[in-house]
Structure 1
């Protein structure tokens, strides 16, 4: 009996990714923590609200958005995604304004960072089928929701990408320990999200520090941005197997990995591998 299991980059069964919103000053401290532990994150920004005019107050705490100069290189090594030009709920506005919110935000950030912006997080977590149609037409390949499932499953629809947990989950460390220590039968993904200002609101920066320390530097976990996860999953799901499973062809530009009867195998871009 042939047993083939698809694996993440590097032959890992587990992957970990992070997603943080709004481009506010607390991101500076958060990026330092992520870089300290060599983790990869996606930051969802609102180009129409950059600068002090986009600041807001929660529970007497002034939340300051950073200006263009502050964020140009802050997120180097991580991914930039969009969060709506002016952070409007996309289901509550006309389709024409929805297009403007997404497209102008995409154009602005592509101009600033110099690469195609392909991901998003839904402002206020709202979306519907019309939103899906607009995002697909505008080249947005994935978008994160706020619907935590507290599991390690892969997304079935990248435009409705439900995360594992918010960092204020009371069982966050239990989830992390289960992810790190558990035996994986197949690919598992831990997806954490939030807003960095919440650590000041709750006075609990220790939560993210402890989480990052516990989950980082593991040989069996791939640490990736959201778009790296998307690209890899698309690639590994594109593998073409012969009918008798004696060969496999990788038609993509990304190296992929599988496990065949307990042996990890890399299939390089454009390679036909004998199994």
Structure 2
């Protein structure tokens, strides 16, 4: 009996993914999105819809859909409280009201969350699926290129002030296709103005963009990809696979890239 060497792949058969996550929706996001778009970088912008009307430094609600087109808009709670100190009913309202305002502005579901000030509790984490939230990003970083084991405690690779260019060089050098690698960068766009170091992000995106072995994804796309791959149903001997999801899945089978279209059964 022949057993195939079967590995999960990112879309297109790629083995690396890059994603970005930026908080607060300040006016500097305009310059950041422009840099991302110029190099094909994609990411997630976590917004506090309740603070927008009273803060001229934030991206207006009517501009959100156009500015962040091709990226993900996620929740950062309505007014950015330290939610680990709040009662659960208040936390739920903070998230649901933020979702409602952002969804009206974008016309798309809001399914992600960046914890304000990195604050959360086990009780908040347990509640998030019932609020329509599929992941929560914390502020701690790992310095590594691992996918999240727990999407509700998603730790990035680094903040953009954390040796970003050195981390980029390390990420680009990863060539072993039997592994999957994820680089996750987070921060606040206004920090570039405060520090006068926009050149760091420009150099990073120029170096990291346009690579054939990298999937450029939003946070929620990575979570959806994980869900699709976990639902795959393989024959005991590895001779076929059924994909019950509507999304396509990608595999490496004996070194060859195989696309498993949603709803299809494929012989391997």
Does the TM-score normalized on the shorter chain lie above 0.5? yes
Q: CA contact under 8 A between 2:64 and 2:105: conserved in structure 1?
A: no
Within the alignment, does 1:147 sit opposite 2:140 as a pair?
A: yes
Report the counterpart of residue 179 of structure 1 in structure 2.
171
Shift of 1:104: 0.5
Q: Which residue among 104, 123, 126 is the counterpart of 2:119?
A: 126
Report the counterpart of residue 11 of structure 2 in structure 1.
9
Shift of 1:186: 1.5
Q: Which runs of 5+ in 1 are unaligned?
A: 56-63
Normalised by the length of structure 1, the TM-score is 0.94
Normalised by the length of structure 2, the TM-score is 0.96
Q: CA contact under 8 A between 1:119 and 1:143: conserved in structure 2?
A: yes
CA-to-aligned-CA distance 1:148-205 (integer Å, 9 cap, x gap) = 0011101001111111110001x22121111111123321110111000000111000
Write the distance in 2 (CA, Å) between the matches of 1:66 and 1:4.
45
Report the counterpart of residue 88 of structure 1 in structure 2.
81
Moved over 2 A (4+): 69-72
Report the counterpart of residue 52 of structure 2 in structure 1.
50
Q: Which residue among 210, 226, 231 is the counterpart of 1:238?
A: 231
Report the counterpart of residue 229 of structure 1 in structure 2.
222
Shift of 1:2: 3.2
Within the alignment, does 1:65 sit opposite 2:67 as a pair?
A: no
1:10-29 superposed matches below 5 A: 10-29=12-31
Shift of 1:70: 3.2
1:94-173 superposed matches below 5 A: 94-169=87-162, 171-173=163-165
Would you say how many aligned residue pairs link Structure 1 and Structure 2? 265
